Structure 1
Amino acid sequence: MGNDSQIAPTSKFEQTLRASAQMPGVRIDRNAFLRSELKRFCTDDQILRAIATTPAEAGVPLKVIDQIANSVIKYETGKVTTVSAAAGIPGGFAAFGTVPADIAQYYGHLLRVVQKLVYIYSWPDLFDDAEDAIDTATESMLTLFIGVMFGVNAAQAGVAQVSALIAKQVSKKLPQQALTKGSIYPIVKKVATVLGVQMTKQIFATGAAKIVPLIGAAVSGGLTFATFYPMSKRLQKHLSTLPLTKPIIVRDPQ
């Protein structure tokens, strides 16, 4: 226990992020997700264009995107609350490496809702391959998105900067340089430190809830619902205001 408390908050958060990203079912296939969600609202041609470019560039109305985002948040909140209640029972989950399993589960669900929201709000694919270890640029971007969910102001500024950089590119990809050693990387490190401190508090809160069996399960599930839903809505609200949701219309000069 003494050694664990010596781990820097930044490292603690990064460990959790990597462990959660490797869990089964956490990574979302962008193409399959967009196809599944857009089929109720769009033509086949529009869906193909949304996958090849972005939903915004395919002309999917923001009202439809917001509707899909709301249903995604409700679905993922329901799932994580059920899992959290099970994890709140002592022995419900074993430890996941150096990260408590219920914390890894919680962050796994955060990553699921993050991916779904960013894909519907016209961000590029975050994972090149479902099997690969998480790369530095993706880790940095996920840190910023989760930072927005936790209300870290620096994270909002970082996400807005990355959005502007992607919007300027012809080929829509994460800006590797800026996220790994450029202008945005110091922001990522700052956000990771804040999140590491927040996570330590969260582990204590859920750990304390588990001391009383069954009541602990209800408290754990309730805590999860009370945090997960508003955090997801905060990210949704921020994403909906960014340049990527409003592709520039190039008009012919008169």
Structure 2
Amino acid sequence: MTESTEIASQSTGFAQVLDAAAKLPSVRINRAAYLRTALKRYCTEEQIEQAVTGSPAAAGIPLKVITDVANTSITYETSKVTGLSAIAGIPGGLAMIGTVPADLVQYMGHMLRVSQKLAYIYGWPDLFADEGEELDEATENLLILFVGVMFGVQIAHGAVSKVAGMVAANVATKLPQQALTKGVIYPIVKKVSAYLGVSMTKKLFAGGIAKAVPVLGAVVSGGITLGTFLTMAKRLQRHLVSLELTKPGHRSTPPPE
């Protein structure tokens, strides 16, 4: 197998897990509804509407408030995933990805949920503007990069920064489709996806989920190590808060540990 073919195979394996997780109930977060609910105890109605139509930073919402909302969302998703248990009846999930346990798809679903929430509070446009069943390629590729950041993949950090710069420069309400699906970001997405495929899929088939992601062996019996998910979510938070999208009206500083 050539190197390019192997990368493609590994990338496809991870993308299948992500795609199955994205189709689980309640994984897709409605941006406007989330921002309205998350900000209502801190902000005026006018600020909230400005945050929905633009971004929280552009609406003049203090970074401390944005950080508090982000931390609340991380805490909520962490508490949910910590009590994760295997679910046998995921509609279509196991059929889509063969022998990957339902627990892994569920866990990925929570990663996607917290990724969306952090993206929206830190100024990103709607990732699921299309209500169709299929996952848009640009959105899938950005989510792969977000998960890559959560796992500490360095090239994912740089790619997310580049995409954020494109969104900020164009004051965009949509993701830069060309860059994410055919342009400069696309080859990086494939490399990140291949790395994650090795970490979470290939080793899973070879010797069980405990080898797929060290410290996550408990997922098989329905328990997830609290610190693992929390650490990954915080890693993504620290990166997103450093980007251009958080800066209108604010001086960006890293959130507390």
- TM-score surpassing 0.5? yes
Q: Secondary structure at the match of 2:94?
A: coil
Question: d(CA) in 2 for partners of 1:26 and 1:105?
Answer: 9
Structure 2 counterpart of 1:164, one-letter code: G
Q: CA deviation at 1:93?
A: 2.5
Q: Secondary structure at the match of 1:231?
A: helix
Larger Rg: 1
Q: Secondary structure at the match of 1:123?
A: coil
Match of 2:246 in 1: 245
- The answer to whether the 8 Å contact 1:206/1:220 transfers is no
- The answer to whether the 8 Å contact 2:29/2:117 transfers is yes
Structure 1 counterpart of 2:88, one-letter code: F
Answering whether residue 88 of structure 2 is matched by residue 93 of structure 1, we say: yes
- The answer to whether the 8 Å contact 1:93/1:102 transfers is no
Answering whether residue 150 of structure 2 is matched by residue 149 of structure 1, we say: yes
| Structure 1 segment 41-120 matched on structure 2, within 5 A | 41-83=42-84, 86-87=85-86, 92-93=87-88, 96-97=94-95, 98=97, 99-120=100-121
Structure 2 counterpart of 1:26, one-letter code: V
What fraction of aligned residue pairs are identical, expressed as a percent? Answer: 52
Cα shift readout 1:160-192 (whole Å, capped 9, x = no counterpart): 000001000133321000000001101100100
Structure 2 counterpart of 1:181, one-letter code: K
Cα shift readout 1:69-121 (whole Å, capped 9, x = no counterpart): 111111101101112xx22xxxx536712242111101011000000000000
Structure 2 counterpart of 1:130, one-letter code: E
Question: d(CA) in 2 for partners of 1:133 and 1:140?
Answer: 13
- The answer to whether the 8 Å contact 2:35/2:48 transfers is yes
- The answer to whether the 8 Å contact 2:103/2:222 transfers is no
Q: CA deviation at 1:43?
A: 0.4
Question: d(CA) in 1 for partners of 2:14 and 2:142?
Answer: 14
Cα shift readout 1:1-60 (whole Å, capped 9, x = no counterpart): xxxxxx922111010111111111100000000000100110000000100111110011
The answer for unaligned runs of 5 or more in structure 1 is 1-6, 209-214, 250-254
Match of 1:179 in 2: 180
Match of 1:197 in 2: 198
Structure 1 counterpart of 2:156, one-letter code: A
Structure 2 counterpart of 1:191, one-letter code: V
Question: d(CA) in 2 for partners of 1:202 and 1:70?
Answer: 31
Question: d(CA) in 1 for partners of 2:220 and 2:167?
Answer: 42
Match of 2:21 in 1: 20
- The answer to whether the 8 Å contact 1:81/1:221 transfers is yes
The answer for unaligned runs of 5 or more in structure 2 is 1-7, 212-216, 251-257
Question: d(CA) in 2 for partners of 1:183 and 1:8?
Answer: 21
Q: Which stretch shifts more, 226-235 or 198-207?
A: 198-207
TM-score by length of 2: 0.83
Question: d(CA) in 1 for partners of 2:11 and 2:242?
Answer: 28
Q: CA deviation at 1:219?
A: 6.4
